[in-house]
Chain A
Amino acid sequence: MKYLDEYRDAQGAHKLARELARITTRPWSLMEVCGGQTHAIVKFGIDELLPSQVTLIHGPGCPVCVTSLELIDKALEIAARPGVIFCSFGDMLRVPGSTTDLLAVKAAGGDVRITYSPLDAVKLAEQNPAREVVFFAVGFETTAPATAMAVYQAARKGLKNFSLLVSHVLVPPAIEAILGAPDRRVQGFLAAGHVCAVMGWEEYKPIAAKHRVPIVVTGFEPLDILQGVLMCVRQLESGRAEVENQYSRAVRQEGNRPAQQIIREVFQITPRKWRGIGEIPRSGLGLRDAYASFDAEHKFGVAGLRVDEPTECLSGLVLQGKIRPRECPAFGTRCTPEHPLGATMVSSEGACAAYYRYRREP
């Protein structure tokens, strides 16, 4: 297939791996931020091609995984109400809340539907004027423009029965949080290509400069990731700490301006709780006052709900790159994709799910 096969070529991969081995003189730890990259690394076995001195640490870049338990409980409460059509991306349905999950709410009679786009949820609201349609808006900067567009259109159409449960999160504050941690191991980052396709990479420059870390905007195919690692290690070996773009076929420095504009129109930056990590200041998006009537938390009166994270699930440590999934005592025993303790075991971009699926046995 065009634009896929050429980035999954075994010969090309081994060539990049040889070059990486040639230039690597010391141990380096890099973090890939995006869950899509984590999935590709484990699925294609990319880490097996790396020299032993280069370690990949999996970052907090799966939006389903970082959605706080509190927000999931809010979703469950809203979805169970009569008259509500609750729309969500498929991965969110099996994520366990405090007592149940959305799939169980559906089986018990809740109208929970998988949608691929928030605009489909707007359509549903138009088709079902007597029902309340709620969209669970999960994701990084990548999905935020589509969510913003859905709200914008709903407002223009004067829809009163459409609302959002907003869980949008931002990448740069998470990178800052990881770099600011006292026991930081990460020496370089592969930034998420699709996030940068929307936002560009200007905002990463001050982070690279302040913390003296190279950041390479990287794609998602095996050759992209290997090349991203190579560029990052090359910087580390020569003592540079710059922002570079491996994913030039999709990402421009300034990003996608119209997409940024619609995000700014609808959303403002807010503090956000990350599952397993805690609250990170200025790390989320919330609806601006002009669009507050589309906020499902207020519409359904669940804004005040407070929930504590369970202790058995160590997904917070996994998400911060402090442990690998297999180092969690519950991994593969009390925690499996059928009986997940946390979202990292559920989502197709979750590190635990990827390890369980592709690497269960050593």
Chain B
Amino acid sequence: MTTPPNFTLSCPFPIQDYPHVLMAHGGGGKLMHQLIGKLFVPAFRNPLLEAQHDASVFDLAGQRVAFTTDSYVVRPLFFPGGDLGSLAVHGTVNDLAMAGARPLYLSAAFIIEEGLPMDTLWKITASMQQAAQAAGVQIITGDTKVVDKGKGDALFINTAGIGILEHQLRIAPRSVQPGDAILVSGDVGRHGMAIMAVREGLEFESAIASDSAPLAEVVLQLVRAGIEIHCLRDLTRGGLTSVLNEIAEAANLTLQVEEKLIPVREDVRAACEILGLDPLQVACEGRFAAFVPERDADRALEILRAHPISTGACRIGKASDQRTAKVLLKSAIGAQRILDMSSGEQLPRIC
């Protein structure tokens, strides 16, 4: 590879529109996609990056390898169903799993604000260790930085992960075919609402717990069963809505889903109604969408439902043969509408 010929030092992003970075630039919606597409991707341009998958997949000494990284800034540090530490493991392991990889090793970098109680740091570290063990990965390298009081926000963690592919499938948004069944691995929107309920002091009969969980094991079961997986994506920032739009865009296909078929728990829906949010745009940390050929769909669902992290898996729609990139939703009363990506963030700093 040579240096891209037309790389210039002027910022390609429309500075006249956004002279400053906004929270929405990290929210998983259109502004974040613009930032990545117009600033980062052109700057670092290469074919692996341009695939824009959750993890990058490449050959290394004859082995197909997946590599990814993610930073974690969630507030509060501890929430029902998880904490910053477990999230920092699950998120990265899941990005590897979405490439169909077996996760092997993680790095962990800590940016700590002066004054953080040592006990808090220990609890987060212990939680990371447990999550890593449960996910079958080892944390093999790391970094520690401490910044002045007021110059950070308690604790940020970055993890990078590496895994290997033990199959020949091309799991990627561009592999989605007309007629593919769209599956989700369980109810959506729980992680985001677990965080929001804590932040906003919403009290329900029992707390909404995050769905944060490692997804690699069940994905590998699908692979081993010979399911011809076309695409996987975890439903993180921007929720199901962003994921479906991203994949429709990459595959240049119209995706059709039915609102009635998308599982949302009652307490999550109630919390969303109260806060005026759309559960289909709320992040999960232990859910994914799978695109598989129709002939494999029932078998894939059986495997998913037999695994404890995806007992609520179901089919929500299909990829049509229309070659326009959009997502159509059949509403609860049976009318059809566009399911559009939100422009900014619904909920900041939830992962």
Give the B-binding residues of A (Cβ under 8 A). Answer: 1, 4, 8-10, 13-14, 42-46, 48-49, 90, 94, 103-104, 106-108, 116, 222, 336-339, 348, 356-361
A339/B332 contact (C-beta < 8 A), A1-B269, A360-B340 known: no
Query: B31 near A116 (CB under 8 angstroms)?
Result: no
B343 contacts the other chain (CB 8 A): yes
A104/B20 contact (C-beta < 8 A), A49-B335, A116-B200, A222-B332 known: yes
A45/B17 contact (C-beta < 8 A), A1-B266, A4-B269, A357-B340 known: no
B334 contacts the other chain (CB 8 A): yes
Nearest CB of A to B193, in Å: 14
Extra pairs beyond A10-B334, A337-B30, A359-B337 (11, CB < 8 Å): A10-B332, A10-B333, A45-B333, A104-B20, A107-B22, A108-B20, A222-B332, A337-B343, A339-B17, A356-B340, A360-B340
Nearest CB of B to A147, in Å: 18
Residues 313-351 of B at the A interface (beta carbon under 8 Å): 326, 331-338, 340, 343-344
Residue of B nearest to A17 (CB): B333
Choose from B266, B331, B340, B343 the contact partner of A44 (Cβ within 8 Å): B331
Q: Which residues of B contact A1 (CB under 8 A)?
A: 266, 269-270
Task: Determine which residue in A13, A45, A339 has the highest number of CB atoms from chain B within 10 A of its CB, and name it.
Answer: A45
Q: Which residues of B contact A358 (CB under 8 A)?
A: 337-338, 340
Q: Which residues of A contact B166 (CB under 8 A)?
A: none
A104/B22 contact (C-beta < 8 A), A1-B270, A116-B200 known: yes
Q: Which residues of B contact A45 (CB under 8 A)?
A: 331, 333-337
CA distance A4 to B260 in the complex (A): 13
Nearest CB of B to A267, in Å: 24
A359/B338 contact (C-beta < 8 A), A1-B270, A107-B20 known: yes
CA distance A85 to B275 in the complex (A): 22
B21 contacts the other chain (CB 8 A): yes
A46/B344 contact (C-beta < 8 A), A103-B22, A116-B275 known: no
CA distance A9 to B34 in the complex (A): 38
Q: How many chain B residues have a CB neighbour from A under 8 Å?
A: 29
Nearest CB of B to A138, in Å: 14
Choose from B270, B331, B343 the contact partner of A338 (Cβ within 8 Å): B343
Nearest CB of B to A333, in Å: 15
3 A-B pairs closest in CB distance = A45-B335, A107-B20, A13-B333
Q: Which residues of B contact A361 (CB under 8 A)?
A: 326, 338
CA distance A10 to B269 in the complex (A): 19
Residues 11-46 of B at the A interface (beta carbon under 8 Å): 17, 19-24, 30-31, 34
Mask, B156-172, CB within 8 Å of A = 1, is 00000000000000000
Nearest CB of A to B276, in Å: 6
CA distance A16 to B264 in the complex (A): 27
Q: Which residues of A contact B200 (CB under 8 A)?
A: 116
CA distance A10 to B336 in the complex (A): 13
Query: B23 near A103 (CB under 8 angstroms)?
Result: yes
Query: B333 near A8 (CB under 8 angstroms)?
Result: yes
Residue of B nearest to A14 (CB): B334
Residue of B nearest to A349 (CB): B276
CA distance A259 to B284 in the complex (A): 38
Choose from B22, B24, B326, B334 the contact partner of A13 (Cβ within 8 Å): B334
Choose from A103, A336, A339 the contact partner of B24 (Cβ within 8 Å): A103
CA distance A170 to B331 in the complex (A): 32
Residues 255-306 of B at the A interface (beta carbon under 8 Å): 266, 269-270, 273, 275-276
CA distance A193 to B339 in the complex (A): 27
CA distance A330 to B319 in the complex (A): 32
Nearest CB of A to B307, in Å: 27
Query: A360 near B20 (CB under 8 angstroms)?
Result: no
Q: Which residues of B contact A46 (CB under 8 A)?
A: 333, 335
CA distance A48 to B39 in the complex (A): 41
Q: Which residues of B contact A108 (CB under 8 A)?
A: 20
CA distance A13 to B270 in the complex (A): 22
CA distance A159 to B23 in the complex (A): 31
27 contacts between A and B (CB under 8 A): A1-B270, A4-B269, A4-B273, A8-B332, A9-B333, A10-B332, A13-B334, A42-B337, A43-B331, A44-B331, A44-B332, A45-B333, A45-B334, A46-B333, A103-B22, A103-B23, A106-B22, A106-B23, A107-B23, A116-B200, A116-B275, A336-B343, A337-B30, A338-B31, A339-B17, A357-B340, A358-B337
Q: Which residues of B contact A348 (CB under 8 A)?
A: 276
CA distance A10 to B308 in the complex (A): 33
Query: A360 near B331 (CB under 8 angstroms)?
Result: no
CA distance A166 to B266 in the complex (A): 36
Nearest CB of A to B334, in Å: 5
CA distance A43 to B337 in the complex (A): 7
Residues 169-228 of B at the A interface (beta carbon under 8 Å): 200
Choose from A4, A42, A94, A357 the contact partner of B344 (Cβ within 8 Å): A94
Residue of B nearest to A47 (CB): B335
CA distance A10 to B31 in the complex (A): 35
Nearest CB of A to B278, in Å: 9
Task: Determine which residue in A90, A339, A356 has the highest number of CB atoms from chain B within 10 A of its CB, and name it.
Answer: A90
CA distance A44 to B334 in the complex (A): 8
CA distance A222 to B276 in the complex (A): 17
CA distance A163 to B333 in the complex (A): 44
Query: B343 near A107 (CB under 8 angstroms)?
Result: no
Residue of B nearest to A336 (CB): B343
CA distance A106 to B24 in the complex (A): 12
Task: Determine which residue in B30, B340, B343 has the highest number of CB atoms from chain A within 10 A of its CB, and name it.
Answer: B343
Mask, B112-134, CB within 8 Å of A = 1, is 00000000000000000000000
Nearest CB of A to B265, in Å: 10
Q: Which residues of B contact A106 (CB under 8 A)?
A: 22-23
CA distance A116 to B196 in the complex (A): 12
Q: Which residues of A contact B269 (CB under 8 A)?
A: 1, 4
CA distance A9 to B260 in the complex (A): 10
CA distance A8 to B21 in the complex (A): 40
Nearest CB of B to A36, in Å: 9
Residue of A nearest to B337 (CB): A358
CA distance A90 to B21 in the complex (A): 18
